[in-house]
Structure 1
Amino acid sequence: MNKFAAIILSLLGFAASPLAEAMDKRYVATPNQSQWQMVANTPLECRLVHPIPHYGDAEFSSRASKKINLDFELKMRRPMGETRNVSLVSMPPAWRPGDGAERITTMKFFQQFDGYVGGQTAWGILGELEKGRYPTFSYQDWQSRDQRIEVALSSVLFRQKYSVFSDCISNLLPYSFEDISFTILHYDRTSVQLNKASQKRLQQIAEYIRHNQDIDLVLVSTYTDSTDSRSASQNLSEQRAEVLRDYFESLGLPEDRIQVQGYGKRRPIDDNSSPIGKDKNRRVVISLGRTQV
């Protein structure tokens, strides 16, 4: 590598290395271009985005779930034309010339899709950025077989936004939409109030709805056991349904998005001749629908 080429690599933020010599196309934000942006910071979703000039965006995301999760996507302006094997290498910045490149792993980027990395490898990319290094993806150009592409994430100005991103992840709700979209809750006998365990579950549903503007339908179906007469059971069932309608309206849901129905002692799911069966039949089924995005 001649001296002029070495200077250019340094300006781009890379230390000279055998890997760098072999590359023909490089995409990386210069120190002046490097930006990290929190584009979503809610109890439902955290997203941290890094624009890569002339290439696309690098995006880390984590969502409300029972398990801590992290996804990384290399969003390309022009998706891959062919499936490619990709090397992921951690490169030192130009101002740390004594450090060497460290190979992280290999993976595949698939035709017509953005590059995806999940699980422990995604956390590893964050770790390398936190160290001040440049995680770098390397693959053969699908348009020109004698060229390779190198795409790097700049660690300049990363740490401050990473702190915000980490705080966001720690505040994500510990359940997802799928966890609460179909829920069966239970009542104490003759009461229009849910039992304590079900009240806690209902609070989780409410917390999710407060932060999600995409919920467009709540279906509430209430049922009783067979203890009372048909008319009394129907009346109690309808009272329970109306209490829940009022509750969901208090969360800000429009009235036309809430549908409630009291079924009384119709449609039992267990034997009403036993106390356990009656407890199961004395229930409410809540189904949530949301806008598909």
Structure 2
Amino acid sequence: MTRLLSLVLLALALPAQAMTFQTRMEEVKWSVDGDKFECRLSQAVTGYGEAVFVRRAGERPTFQLKAWSNLMQPGQAQLYNDAPSWRSDRRARVLGQATVKDGPVTLEVPYQQAGQMLAGLADGLLPTIHRAGWANAPDSVRVVVSSIGYKQAWSEFQNCISGLLPMNIDQISRSAVSFASGGTRLDPGAKSLLDTALAYLEADPDIETVQLDAHSDNVGDRLTNRELSRQRALAVQSYLTEHGVAEEKITMRFHGDRYPVASNATAVGRAKNRRVTLRLEKP
């Protein structure tokens, strides 16, 4: 019943006619490229542009539709995994909506729907984007991603993903090295986080500065807490320099208990406030 309802809703949502962009079976080509920071699985869509699945380090895959010349009207597009005409054992599956924008990147789809699109390709379905054309266009626009050759391309994509760093620069810059109450020593979890930062620093020579901001909870007086935060920053600096980071590349600030990120009224809040945050900065 649910599948039937989805098909009915899909039929109601889509116009009867559409200008369809789909690469011919014999011309379908997937390409995989990337590095330690990002992997891309892409397919050129004849006459329209490029369909790209993107997997950043530390994140799940997303989907982008790039256009040489955007023929879709900005607004909500329908997403669905269509069934090829030769597969009577398959049915179209509605994935929801995504926003079309004017520009070279016509549409970006978050990981939930991108994952469904990838699953559809593995099942022989055709991820499809359907949206009204511009006001003077007689038909709507439909862009179809082919599943031809997907299995081999997926294998190559997985090989690329296996070489990604555990985190990306945004995630590292939002991370915090935690400390025990009154403590300045790095525990195994803190060292593991710093090892990830070290891997990123080694892979990206464009990182110019490592900014350390050290904090404490409010247990004790202000002067003691400021010194405690200084000792924590020095502990992180020492670990980084011992593992090859030039000391002149590291800058430090010690804030004591002035900038809490949680309430000091609870043990959980105080634990969050005992921290050294890292920020990796490029030119």
TM-score by length of 1: 0.64
- 1:29 deviates by 1.6
Q: What is the DSSP-based 3-state SS (H/G/I as helix, E as strand, rest coil) of the residue aligned with 2:119?
A: helix
Residue of structure 2 in register with 1:15 after alignment: none
CA separation in 1, counterparts of 2:232 and 2:131?
A: 63
Kindly name which structure, 1 or 2, has the bigger radius of gyration based on alpha carbons: 1
- 1:35 deviates by 1.5
1:201 aligned onto 2:193: yes
- Give the aligned residue type for 1:87: Q
CA separation in 2, counterparts of 1:24 and 1:180?
A: 45
- 1:169 deviates by 4.3
1:105 aligned onto 2:95: yes
Q: Deviations over 1:183-238 (max 9, x none)?
A: 345599999x7444432332122123233444331124679999xxxxxx9xx899
Q: What is the DSSP-based 3-state SS (H/G/I as helix, E as strand, rest coil) of the residue aligned with 1:107?
A: strand
- Give the aligned residue type for 1:73: Q
Residue of structure 1 in register with 2:21 after alignment: 27
TM-score by length of 2: 0.66
CA separation in 2, counterparts of 1:53 and 1:203?
A: 44
CA separation in 2, counterparts of 1:151 and 1:161?
A: 20
1:247 aligned onto 2:247: no
- What is the 5 A alignment of 1:127-206? 127-169=119-161, 172-181=164-173, 183-184=176-177, 186=179, 194-206=186-198
The 3 A distance-change label for structure 1 pair 240 and 127 is closer
Residue of structure 1 in register with 2:53 after alignment: 60
The 3 A distance-change label for structure 1 pair 81 and 255 is farther
Q: What is the DSSP-based 3-state SS (H/G/I as helix, E as strand, rest coil) of the residue aligned with 2:102?
A: coil
The 3 A distance-change label for structure 1 pair 286 and 244 is farther
Aligned residues with identical type, % of pairs: 21
CA separation in 1, counterparts of 2:142 and 2:52?
A: 17
Unmatched tracts of structure 1, length 5 or more: 1-18, 227-232, 271-275
Unmatched tracts of structure 2, length 5 or more: 1-12, 222-227, 259-266
CA separation in 2, counterparts of 1:45 and 1:120?
A: 18
The 3 A distance-change label for structure 1 pair 155 and 48 is same
User: Conserved in 2, the CA contact under 8 Å of 1:80 and 1:110?
Assistant: no
User: Conserved in 2, the CA contact under 8 Å of 1:47 and 1:165?
Assistant: yes
